[in-house]
Structure 1
Amino acid sequence: MFDKYMVKEGSFQNNGQDGFKFQVHVGDYRGCFLSLVRGYYVEVDGVEYPLEKQKFEINGKPPRTFDEIAKAVWEHWDFDDYATLYIDCPGGLSKGPHRLGLMQGAMVQYGWQPHDQEWIENTPLPKDLVGEQTKQKEVYYFDVEIK
């Protein structure tokens, strides 16, 4: 819905020698419960960074894995708030322009769907979420820069 606003302008930066980080906005006008956020498809300059390399920081809590986020059933991500997505990439990225591909894997929050139990037990990767089960239908690309 608000996909072109998903990445906060100017937030893309290296995170010391551990990797890089950037701020993301929830792709829904109502916000969502954190347990519905199943991770991100992240690609920078053609290199994919899987869920195992991602951590998510929101609501003043330290960065968490998406396995931990899946248990945050009462915690809400409000529309006005940005979260920080940390990517494990030893040495970080080179300074200069980069091409970021991003897809937010968030399940819909409008009641129980037939596929929901299967998704809870065996969650698809963000890029594999398709159809009516997810808000975002494709990978969006952003031109970003590390200064």
Structure 2
Amino acid sequence: MFDKYLIDAATVHNTGPVDAPTGFSFQAKLGYYRGLGLSMIEELNVGIDGEVLPRAAIRFDEGPGPLTLDEMETAFDRRWAFGTPATILVDLPGGFPAGEHTLTLQQKLRVSYLPFPSFNNDEKTVKVA
């Protein structure tokens, strides 16, 4: 339902030194209408042009500081509120590739009253200046 709002394409930018980026980041929103504890976010898959980036390269920050996806599994005291942007940070030598590319985000969420995981997907064409 909220899938088309997951990625904020205007926020994609490279991180690290300007002349030698070490990765990129972008703002994202949760695809579930009630918010969730971070431990209930089972996966955040980020891809560029159909290639899914390694899980170990992704970090998440809803405000207090970045966590790896493994650290999120036990972050019982942190929550991602609906409508609140969080920063997805990706380690990628060279940063986001020059030119237009397709950025994808898939969220796999564990919702307490659903007997199956909720998958939310967004795809945007983005270009980093």
- Of the three residues 107, 110, 116, the one matched with 1:107 is 110
Distance 2:72 2:127 in 1: 28
Distance 1:84 1:21 in 2: 7
The structure whose residues are more often helix, as a share, is: 1
1:29 CA drift (Å): 1.0
Distance 2:38 2:24 in 1: 22
Distance 2:122 2:80 in 1: 21
Distance 2:30 2:66 in 1: 17
Percent of counterpart pairs with the same letter? 35
Provide Cα deviations, 1:90-143, integer angstroms capped at 9, x if missing partner. Answer: 1112332110122112111227xxxxxxxxxxxxxxxxxxxx522226x43211
The 5-angstrom pairing of residues 122-137 of structure 1 reads: 132-136=115-119
Q: 5+ unaligned residues in a row in structure 2: which ranges?
A: none
SS in 2 for 1:12: strand
In structure 2, the partner of 1:143 is 125
Provide Cα deviations, 1:4-25, integer angstroms capped at 9, x if missing partner. Answer: 0001230111112211111110
Consecutive aligned runs of 4 or more in structure 1 exceeding 3 Å deviation:
none
The structure whose residues are more often strand, as a share, is: 2
State how many pairs are aligned.
125
Contact 2:7 2:122 in 1 (8 A): no
Q: What letter corresponds to residue 50 of structure 1 in structure 2? A: P
Contact 2:40 2:110 in 1 (8 A): yes
Please say if 1:5 is aligned against 2:5: yes
SS in 1 for 2:7: coil
Distance 1:76 1:52 in 2: 21
Q: What letter corresponds to residue 94 of structure 1 in structure 2? A: P
1:51 CA drift (Å): 1.0
1:74 CA drift (Å): 2.9
Provide Cα deviations, 1:19-58, integer angstroms capped at 9, x if missing partner. Answer: 1111110001111111101221211023220211100011
Q: 5+ unaligned residues in a row in structure 1: which ranges?
A: 112-131
Scaled by the length of structure 1, what TM-score is found?
0.77
